[in-house]
Amino acid sequence: MRHGLVVASACSVVVGGLAGAPALVGLGTGVAPASAGARNSHILVYAQEWSLYSSRATVPAGTVGVELWNRGEDPHDLRVRRIRDGRLSGPVDGAVGLTQSGGLTRATWRLAPGRYQLYCALPQHRSRGMRIILLVR
């Protein structure tokens, strides 16, 4: 399954010990990228009231496996949109669905090079600080 490859191939974040997190142990064993030129990457984003933290500030363009871990008390989600001229621009380029407190939700995004904002799309969450920059190169 493509998603499994993405999550396992370039993950440098230890998440196997998280309470309630799906076990990732063994997913990467013997699995090679689909093509030698493929550049898959992975980020883990922590959400809590009212901030986001990402395991990486920069990822290579292409397929990005994303995990949203909600360490807060309220539900949160995640969106990614380009920033042009200092403002959000164009459509939402990727999303992670609503994640309850303590939950971990995965998604796979395809991102072109550029400057992006990751943010929680729930009302007032972005304006309260749940937003960070992600550079794609």
Q: Which residues bind Cu ion (CB under 5 A)?
A: 76, 120, 122, 125, 130
- In whole angstroms, give the CA distance from residue 106 to residue 69: 9
CB of 76 to Cu ion, least distance (A): 3
Nearer to Cu ion, 76 or 82 (CB): 76
Nearer to Cu ion, 7 or 120 (CB): 120
Instruction: Judge residue 7's burial from the number of C-beta atoms within 10 Å of its C-beta, 0-12 exposed, 13-18 middle, 19 or more buried.
Output: buried
Yes or no: say if 107 and 94 are a contact pair by the CB < 8 Å rule: yes
- In whole angstroms, give the CA distance from residue 122 to residue 74: 10
CB of 18 to Cu ion, least distance (A): 19
CB of 78 to Cu ion, least distance (A): 9
Residue whose C-beta lies closest to Cu ion: 120
